[in-house]
Amino acid sequence: MDELNALFHGFNVILTPMNILLMFVGIILGVLIGVLPGLGGANGVAILLPLTFTMPPTSAIIMLSCIYWGALFGGAITSILFNIPGEPWSVATTFDGYPMAQDGRAGEALTTAFTSSFIGAFVAVVMITFLAPMVAGFALQFGPPEFFAVYLLTFCSFVGMGKGSPFKILASMCIGFALAAVGMDTVTGQLRLTFGIPDLMRGFDFLIAVIGLFGIGEILLSMEEGLAFSGKAAKINAKVVFQTWKKLPKYWATSLRSSLIGIWMGITPGGATPASFMSYGVAKKMSKNGSNFGNGEIEGVIAPETAAHAAGTSALLPMLALGIPGSPTAAVLLGGLLIWGLQPGPLLFTEQKDFVWGLIASMYLGNLVGLIVVLTTVPLFASILRIPFSIIAPVIVVICAIGAYTVHNAMLDIWLMMLFGMIGYLFKKLDYPLAPLVLALVLGDKAEDSFRQAMLVSQGEMSILWSNGLVGGISTLALVLLFWPLISRLIAKVRPPKKDEFAAEQPVD
């Protein structure tokens, strides 16, 4: 009941004409970002973050979070109509969405994608509404050792549970740690790795890094591939929407399962992209029409879109309650909170109730607004893809440069943005993940501070990380996740093969 009262108070906070206007503006900008390959949710939020510095924190976070919801919605438009994923998490949507469009069912596919996204987000927001205060209350027991253990858990889960080479993830994360160490040491006050350059005293701003890594890097890659858009116009009428809505209830199990997968991958540092692929794979295995996946099966659109939106929304839970982002976009929003003078973590729920519950209320309303906007403006956003990429690319680069310059009004930031863009391009070419680098850049200094404070308290004894059940459990779990690939291989070798596996290998006469 307390959560519901706080939620109603949050609606009172956000239901002002200015906040509602910012909500619509954010959704429209987000859909545009999602439609255009080369921009992404994290980069779009990063570019527009400087515009919100003069706004009240609640209005600013409403606009930025709505940009994120819009980007999640917008990625489905290009995936279904043009077989071009506007966002990484939309790749799985192309598997069945594009065949549905080719079969003349574009309106059905788009309605399914948008509605499934809304359902996934709604389930995740309900979870945040009731779990966030509990997580925050539990986190009040945390001191420096516990906070470092949580940071360690986050980093180790990226390495051990990531969908890629653990060595590449670790290398990317180490580069992020090195970049986070540049500037003034917050404990001793000494300068580190500045090489006599005064502007580096403030360190590498995560905004500059994100704009370069995600925006410029993706543009360079797209230009190399000679990306061009082609496709036919699409429209959604009320008849198609209602006919599709009549079909969707019978897939309630797929929606619920995909929502739970997305929530889990959002709270852990998995993110929307692996959530969409995992949900698609599970749906294909469990569906009675699994053999038809890839040929225009409606479940093949429901599963990835529901999971992606659930993951993108639930990633904000650890950011608000623990100060640990569950996705690159949540990491950017975390930096925004720090810039606005807000400290994410358990005390945020007691010291900034209007902000927290206003944000949670905006998740409900923002996703509803997003559903309405995308259902009515698909032809407009689809027509944007007829603009030659040779025109769109320079416009995006200019927007990125303006966003980078406005952070500190320094020309050096634009050069750093271009440098990070080259790094992002190389990372993508070499198949190195960018999310661990961004995570380490944002959280590296905080993890270092917590570790050094813990070592000062224990006089250098590492045993403080196992000094009580809470910190010991988190530290042990972190090590298990770090070495999980090795543990799983050992388990597979020790465990004897099942009898039916032998039977499956015998030839049938």
Q: What is the pLDDT of residue 469?
A: 81
Indicate whether 504 belongs to any domain: no
CB distance 25 to 67 below 8 Å: no
Measure the CA–CA gap between 280 and 425, rounded to whole angstroms. Answer: 28
Could you write out the DSSP letters of every residue in 168-219?
HHHHHHHHHHHHHTSEE-TTT--EES-TT-GGGGG---HHHHHIIIIIIHHH
> Residue 187 contacts by C-beta under 8 Å, 6 or more apart in sequence?
449, 452
Indicate whether 416 belongs to any domain: yes
CB atoms within 10 A of CB 412: 15
Instruction: Return the closest-CA partner of residue 91 out of 359, 356, 271, 345.
Output: 271
Which uninterrupted H or E stretch holds 241?
A: helix 238-247
Q: What is the pLDDT of residue 464?
A: 87
The SS3 assignment for 362 reads helix
Supply the angle between the helices 57-82 and 353-384 in degrees, to the nearest 10: 30
The strand pairing partners of 184, in sequence order, are: 191
Indicate whether 89 belongs to any domain: yes
Indicate whether 493 belongs to any domain: no
Instruction: Return the closest-CA partner of residue 307 out of 367, 351, 352, 258.
Output: 258
> Helix %, strand %, coil % for the chain, to 5?
80, 0, 20
Q: What is the pLDDT of residue 287?
A: 79
Q: What is the phi/psi pair of residue 192, to 5°?
A: -130, 130
Q: What is the pLDDT of residue 135?
A: 66
Host domain of residue 466: 2-484
Q: Where are the beta strands (DSSP E) in 27-131?
A: none
User: How many alpha carbons lie under 13 Å from residue 501 in its C-beta half-sphere?
Assistant: 4
Indicate whether 490 belongs to any domain: no
Indicate whether 243 belongs to any domain: yes
Q: What is the pLDDT of residue 65?
A: 80
> Residue 272 contacts by C-beta under 8 Å, 6 or more apart in sequence?
72, 87, 88, 89, 262, 265, 266, 307, 308, 309, 311, 312, 315, 327
Number of domains present in the structure of the chain: 1
Instruction: Return the closest-CA partner of residue 275 out of 31, 32, 485, 72.
Output: 72
Indicate whether 492 belongs to any domain: no
User: pLDDT means per 10 residues in the chain (509 residues)?
Assistant: 71 81 86 67 71 78 81 75 65 80 79 87 84 67 78 75 74 88 80 80 76 76 63 60 84 88 72 73 79 82 87 79 69 74 71 77 83 77 64 76 74 88 88 78 80 86 84 84 80 67 48
Q: What is the pLDDT of residue 501?
A: 47
Total length of the chain = 509
Measure the CA–CA gap between 248 and 302, rounded to whole angstroms. Answer: 9
The strand pairing partners of 191, in sequence order, are: 184
Indicate whether 214 belongs to any domain: yes
The SS3 assignment for 229 reads coil
Distance of CA 96 to the CA centre of its chain: 23
Structure tokens at 205: 């701003």
Q: What is the pLDDT of residue 50?
A: 74
